[in-house]
Amino acid sequence: MSYSKLFLPKNLGAAPEYIFGGIRPDSGLTLVPDFTRQPRSWLRRVLKFLLVGRLRLSSRMLALITGFEGYRRLSDIGPADRLLLDGVSNLHTLQAIRWAVPRETRCYNYFNNSLRFVYGSEAKVMPYVEGMKAMGYSVFTFDRDEAARYAINYAAQHYRYPQPDELAAEPQWDFFFCGAAKDRRERLQALQQMLESKGYKCRFVVVEPGEPGITYAQYLDYVRQSRCIVDLMQQGQTGLTRRPVEALFWNKKLLTENQTITTYDFYRAENICLLTTDVECRIDSFMQAPMASVPSEVKEAYEVNRWLAHFGGEAQ
């Protein structure tokens, strides 16, 4: 059976907008306004809780109840089309969507966040996964370990090729990090102090709760002008963040806490340094080593068009 359009309800932020800018025109991707969020008004929230996913409702009724006009686009989806959801966790929302599209429509739900964080604990994950599968969803995750643990599908973290003129920049910093403080504040401070004590220039942008972050355009400027990207993860996460694939496509070195990265096909010791207790002794030789080349066929596995192919495309 051949598939035509791939519908994705998603309001693109700056980073996804840049990444999706690398999607081929013939991909069949159709972006529609995101309707999977919680309504803002208390009345619509109550109506959603009482009705959505509990009664079989048309896409028009779903739009009226929630206030999200994007629901109306479900009526555009045909039996041969595909629907890709961006990590929707609410089972009632998922049921409402499944009822509103043709039974033959292939539906996917891709999680780019660890499921144990989404659902609050390890014990809660499997009942939700089984519930999604029972509705007919193919569940995908960016985390290889979670894919094996919960018997779901794996689709690698993805990025796009920068334009050749974007890659040319004179380094201004040795190490660059940008992200929310979360549980990493003390580790980031200690790392920055160690690196600067050895004479390295660091640009660490740590966003505290309630503070505005930098734009993605500014973020990319920092990436271009840095020699090495720093990757500190949330405690307990094993799946790749976006930073390793950014380093891969921007031809930057990577300093990371992710110990599983040595099992990935793009791992090269000259390019990727593990942030372990002896890193202070190894960092100089790592930064002095020339970058090792990574074959284009290896990069292709993490390219955004290959990622889209997981969701009903021909090539895998």
DSSP state of 57: -
For 75, other C-beta atoms within 10 Å of its C-beta total: 13
Express each pLDDT in 73-91 by its tens digit.
999 999 999 999 999 999 9
Residues 6+ apart with CB under 8 A from 164: none
The fold of the 164-299 domain, in CATH, is: Rossmann fold (3.40.50)
- pLDDT value at position 313? 55
> What are the strands, taking DSSP E only, across 23-81?
29-32
Using CB atoms within 10 Å of the CB of residue 103, give its burial: 0 to 12 exposed, 13 to 18 middle, 19+ buried. Answer: exposed
Q: How far apart are CA 142 and CA 120, in angstroms?
A: 18
pTM check: above 0.75: yes
For 236, other C-beta atoms within 10 Å of its C-beta total: 10
- pLDDT value at position 183? 78
Q: 27 is written with which tokens? A: 């991909």
- pLDDT value at position 3? 57
What angle do helix axes 185-197 and 279-288 make, rounded to 10 degrees? 60
Would you kindly state where each structural domain of the chain is located, as residue ranges?
6-156+303-308, 164-299
Low-confidence ranges of the chain (pLDDT < 50): 1, 314-316
Provide φ and ψ at 249, rounded to 5°.
-80, -25
Express each pLDDT in 49-73 by its tens digit.
999 999 999 999 999 999 999 999 9
